[in-house]
Structure 1
Amino acid sequence: MSAETTGSNQTLLDVRDLVVSYDGIKALQGVSFAVEQGKIVTLIGANGAGKTSILRAVSGLVSYNGAIRFEGQDLKRIPAHRIVALGIAQVPEGRGIFGNLTVLENLRLATWQRTDKAEIETDYERVFQTFPRLKERQHQASGTLSGGEQQMLAVGRALMSRGRLMLLDEPSMGLSPRLVQDIFRIIQDINQAGITILLVEQNANMALRIASRAYVLETGSITLSGTGAELLGDPRIKEAYLGA
């Protein structure tokens, strides 16, 4: 993949030779991949494979060697809050909501860098249309929401930042099978509305079904890549991740 285009689609995020270390131990060892604009790209792999470290590096939350470019701009020396302003929103593993604040206050936090007040009001309505339960509970303390509702709030908060790239870290973790179906449907809806998705997910079956491209990480390196459909049908993936 070139750093500028892949086929007829522009590369929104380009990661090259990414190395992340914690206390001298390499969590990522020269990872390279690209995310095309308008696509869903998924990273799958076992716990500890390095998936979350990739998202943290893209968000500016860990130091790294290598290069990460968003819309051609090198992110290396840009602080995390400026990366959000550039158009990258992250939904962290564990949701990261503020339980003592209401639903509405959590959503409002994501708008602190925005000055387009009229558009902010429009985006509140957009979030509430996507997640009607959040509208019903907008004045409720977020810590009293169910796990599924908290995940909806985390995604809604990312939408409020108006990012063009959304990083999703284990969005289905801890949810019932029915809510997992709901969350993946919503991810597809968000993507169809024009937001590019980079998805880290343990539920490989669901992730590969919605991804246009997928990468498999093992001990800090990419070992397989292809379309979601190709990896879904790969015997090695079936044996290792799909329980077949």
Structure 2
Amino acid sequence: MRQASIRQAGPQLEVRNLEVRYNGIQALHGVSFKVNRGEIVTLIGANGAGKSSILRAISGLIRFTGDIVFDGSDLGPIPAHSIVGLGIAHVPEGRGIFGNLTVQENLHLATWQRQGKGEVEADYDRVFALFPRLKERRQQPAGTLSGGEQQMLAVGRALMSRGRLLLLDEPSMGLAPRLVQEIFRIIEDINRTGTTILLVEQNANMALRIAHRAYVLETGRVVLAGTGLELSDNPRIKEAYLGA
């Protein structure tokens, strides 16, 4: 994998002073960061640091205080289904596929807000080009797929919504090392087509290798920020997250 060059197209997503509480317990403490158009930005940190809460707030799945702005739109008052319509696609931790539906039916679910059959068919072709195994299994119940194939389906379904910003929550979790390499290669391929990516990932080594920029969270706060290369070389990060 390569260390990607930094994009300079300006912020597509801005998060300012984000705070989230669960049953009175504060999970995020004034988190602020930005994601520029065309970047891969990764959030790293230990379990419970607040990474998934950030993605859920962006998607409208939990209540928050602070500001989240996407392409000039304040996401605070917008319901989750309308946030999808604005161009944000979320692949949650645990994949969230429908096991009783076929691969094709799972992909089709993501097109419910879209118009134009020709464009939808073109996106099926795009997903099947990225994930040939899904094409082979398009009529197979999703619940019978392997873990890696289910992760591919979850990413493919998000792509079918035509999101301009892709939120990925732990895409390598539970996968064999060979499939981890493949998933990260595909993430880079998706980014090269122009899709901005905000990545939450426990595998900090792999995430930093493909990231343009990264933020480190500890107990709900951003404690470090920099390019993927800078953080990979940071002694504190090496000791805490990279096994050095």
TM-score (structure 1 length as normaliser): 0.97
Correspondence for 2:3: none
- The runs of 5 or more residues in structure 2 that have no matched partner are 1-5
Q: Deviations over 1:4-56 (max 9, x none)?
A: xx994221000000000001111000000000000000000000000000000
Correspondence for 2:73: 73
State the 4+ residue runs in structure 1 displaced beyond 2 angstroms: none
- Aligned partner of residue 9 in structure 1, secondary structure: coil
1:41-80 pair list within 5 angstroms: 41-80=41-80
Distance in 2 (CA, whole Å) between partners of 1:16 and 1:63 is: 15
Letter of the 2:168 partner, please give it: L
Give the CA deviation at 1:211: 0.3
Correspondence for 1:161: 161
Q: Deviations over 1:144-166 (max 9, x none)?
A: 00000000000000000000000
Distance in 2 (CA, whole Å) between partners of 1:140 and 1:119 is: 24
Provide the identity percentage.
74
TM-align CA RMSD:
1.0
Contact 2:89 2:165 in 1 (8 A): yes
Correspondence for 1:175: 175
Distance 1:7 1:42, change over 3 A: closer
Distance in 2 (CA, whole Å) between partners of 1:171 and 1:136 is: 21
Give the CA deviation at 1:72: 1.1
Distance in 1 (CA, whole Å) between partners of 2:114 and 2:10 is: 26
TM-score (structure 2 length as normaliser): 0.97
Letter of the 1:66 partner, please give it: G
Q: How many residues align?
A: 239
Distance in 2 (CA, whole Å) between partners of 1:227 and 1:243 is: 19
Distance in 1 (CA, whole Å) between partners of 2:8 and 2:115 is: 34
Correspondence for 2:83: 83
Contact 2:7 2:36 in 1 (8 A): no
Contact 2:12 2:71 in 1 (8 A): yes
Distance in 1 (CA, whole Å) between partners of 2:79 and 2:10 is: 25
Give the CA deviation at 1:117: 1.1
The one of the two structures with greater contact order (alpha-carbon pairs below 8 A, sep at least 6) is: 2
Letter of the 1:93 partner, please give it: E
- Aligned partner of residue 76 in structure 1, secondary structure: coil
Q: Deviations over 1:187-228 (max 9, x none)?
A: 000000000000000000000000000000000000000000
Distance in 1 (CA, whole Å) between partners of 2:221 and 2:116 is: 41
